[in-house]
Amino acid sequence: MTRPITLLLAALVITIPLSLLVGQVWISPFSPPVPNATAILMELRLPRAVLGLILGAGLGAAGAAMQGYLRNPLADPGLFGIAPAAALGAVLSFYTGYEVQAFTLPLFALIGGGGAMGLLALIAGRAGGIALFTLAGMMIASLAGALTSLAISLSPNPFALSEIVTWLMGALADRGWHEVRLAAPLTLVGLALLWRAAPALDALALGEAAARSLGVDPTRLLWLMIAAIGLIVGSGVAVAGMIGFVGLMVPHLIRPFTDQRPSATLIPSALAGALLLLVADCLCRIMPLKGGELRLGIALSLAGAPFFLRLLLKMRRELA
Amino acid sequence: MLEALRITIPHRLHDVTAQLRAGSVTAICGPNGAGKSTLLAALAGLITPVSGTATLQGQPVAQLLPEDRARRIGYLPQSGEVAWNLSVRTLAGLGRLPHRTSASENAQVVAQVLATLDLTDLADRPLATLSGGERARALLARVLTTQPHWILADEPLAALDLAHQRTLVHRFRALAQEGRGVVLVVHDLALAMNHADHVIVLDQGRVAAQGKPATALSEDVISQVWKLESRWLGEPGHMALAL
């Protein structure tokens, strides 16, 4: 377990400073100084890199925990319906026109994510098993998706419509320290909760009955998962929009290098998620695209969909 | 002593009372749907009866703290499910979860248990590469690394060939001789007759018979519960059931 962590930490140590140099304006320590280099680095690229690291770590670890909790390698943090509900909250802030204030959009998104967490807890929180929980999450995701579409179709003006659609694509562009201050504490609390849930996730690999016989309290675990995934995914959507596939892809890439226990995949998945988001964001910045840079959410979906397909084909071969 | 005191679980168990002693092997037998697995789960504290209670040393199992209960009662479910392709060593290590002991102590216990189950050479093999018998032993290793005083196993011998059945039965006997309580759900009546110290026969959620194997598994009981005419052949300890 320590080897992948060491390698990923080394990769991050190399990638983080490099990522600060990459963008529309390249900053090279070996070339003549670029005008406003300090401002570009400190006010634009550093917060963006930090945000990418935080969100990537959260999504990677959340994916590993979700796959452990549902004992399904195809599970993703999005299955809980928290991301679509947070997106609905954010879209409503556009719809109402309140998004002009910097804190309104994240606040609406967090309210949406929090509402989904509450609804999940209400439906499946006390005695609900994992199957009921998953179905409740899918129902919330479906409902939030439908309401988001409704909000888009009733958009008050073309400008709001364009803003909504662009925001839904997910990106780290133009994010600053304000977003870092909002997402970092919530994500860190979420990660700490996942770490607390880790031994129970390991026991759950043996099935619910065996896990309970090993002292796992399923209700406590459920609450830990709702709170952790809600904080990580809700705060992520609140500051960067919808960024998918990280939670699905990263644990798969990591698992072969661990002993496969869910707890053993948590930290490497967090580090690999951070690395993936950082690298993907750099690529988005330098991708030649008319009218701006490629949206991070689109880039990850473009990479993630073939990955998901490959995974399905591999599973089909194994089952055959 | 582990006791079931007038346990009732609607549609599954009706007023079941049984006493299980440490240092012995108890077999729970009965036709499909008789309530064997339910009784085992109730004794393990995994199902709460609507009336009656399971007690361990006179204390209700349901009132034990989960980790304390886990350290004292090991439970091996019938499914044998393991979600990930863990190695034998990693699987066995999961049994240490209820203990808050150091990694080195955990590794030592795991190594000891793997050695007693003849799994040392397979320690780093992924579960997917094991045979049925090896997998059954690996699953039992997970229970034994908890070092519980009671071992409750739901059909641990199902789907094993005779040689592997024999190996595991001897292992269960050795555990009982160490002073642990061993409770097994078994379908093979000859196995229960030859290797159990005490047998509980369930029928439609009620205790049909219990006691020494020769009494609880008499031809009359088999006729009444399984609706089969049968005859025991052979000497005690090596008996076979002729149908």
Residue B198 near residue B24 (C-beta atoms within 8 A)? yes
**Which residue of B48, B84, B86, B124 to mutate against A (max A Cβ within 10 Å)?**
B84
Residue B31 sits in a domain whose CATH number is: 3.40.50.300
For residue A307, give the nearest of A269, A253, A260 by alpha carbon. A253
The answer to whether A202 faces chain B, any CB pair under 8 Å, is yes
Contact A205 B94 (CB under 8 A): yes
The answer to whether A209 faces chain B, any CB pair under 8 Å, is yes
Distance from CA of B90 to the nearest CA of A (A): 7
Q: Residue A39's pLDDT is what?
A: 83
Q: Residue A105's pLDDT is what?
A: 81
**Which residue of A70, A206, A258 to mutate against B (max B Cβ within 10 Å)?**
A206
Residue ranges of the domains in chain A? Answer: 2-319
Please report residues of B whose CB lies closer than 8 A to that of A214.
Answer: 70, 94-95, 97-98, 146
Q: What is the pLDDT of residues B40-87, one digit of tens each?
A: 999 999 998 999 999 999 899 989 999 999 999 999 998 888 999 999
Contact B97 A206 (CB under 8 A): no
Contact B87 A259 (CB under 8 A): yes
Dihedral sign computed on CA atoms, order B102, B104, B108, B110: positive
Q: Residue B211's pLDDT is what?
A: 94
The answer to whether A1 faces chain B, any CB pair under 8 Å, is no
Contact A216 B66 (CB under 8 A): yes
Contact B94 A214 (CB under 8 A): yes
Q: What is the total count of domains within chain B? A: 1
Q: Residue B151's pLDDT is what?
A: 96
Shortest CB distance from B77 goes to which of A199, A205, A209? A209
Question: Taking 60 as the threshold, does the pLDDT of residue B37 lie above it?
Answer: yes
Pairing of strands B198-203, B206-211: antiparallel
Q: Does domain A2-319 have CATH number 3.50.50.100?
A: no
Distance from CA of B200 to the nearest CA of A (A): 22
Q: What is the pLDDT of residues B157-169, one digit of tens each?
A: 887 788 888 888 9
Quote the CA–CA distance of A64 and A190 in Å, as a whole number: 13
Q: Residue A168's pLDDT is what?
A: 83
Please report residues of B whose CB lies closer than 8 A to that of A259.
Answer: 86-87, 90
Q: Residue A102's pLDDT is what?
A: 65
Q: Residue A101's pLDDT is what?
A: 63
Contact B98 A214 (CB under 8 A): yes
Work out the angle at residue B156's Cα, subtended by the Cα atoms of residues B83 and B173, and round it to the nearest 5 degrees.
Answer: 135
Contact A213 B44 (CB under 8 A): yes
Residues within 8 A of B (CB atoms), A 73-132 only: none
Q: What is the DSSP letter of B127?
A: G
Q: Residue A125's pLDDT is what?
A: 60
Please compute the mean of the pLDDT values over residues B237-242 and round it to a whole number.
Answer: 88
Contact B46 A213 (CB under 8 A): yes
Contact A260 B146 (CB under 8 A): no
Contact B70 A215 (CB under 8 A): yes
Residue A190 near residue A58 (C-beta atoms within 8 A)? yes
Work out the angle at residue B197's Cα, subtended by the Cα atoms of residues B193 and B200, and round it to the nearest 5 degrees.
Answer: 75
B3, β-bridge pairs: B19, B55
Average pLDDT score, chain B: 92
Question: Taking 90 as the threshold, does the pLDDT of residue B106 lie above it?
Answer: yes
Contact A207 B81 (CB under 8 A): yes
Question: Which residues form the domain of B195?
Answer: 2-242
Distance from CA of A60 to the nearest CA of B (A): 18
Quote the CA–CA distance of A23 and A36 in Å, as a whole number: 14
The answer to whether A266 faces chain B, any CB pair under 8 Å, is no
**For every one of its 320 residues, what pLDDT tens digit does chain A have, with 9 covering 90 and above?**
578 899 999 999 999 999 888 877 777 777 777 778 788 888 889 999 999 999 999 999 999 999 998 888 878 877 778 889 988 988 888 776 655 566 788 888 888 888 888 888 787 665 556 677 778 888 899 999 999 989 888 877 777 778 778 778 888 888 889 889 989 999 999 999 999 999 999 999 999 899 999 999 988 898 898 889 989 998 898 889 888 889 988 998 999 999 999 999 999 999 999 999 999 999 888 887 776 778 888 888 888 888 878 877 887 777 66
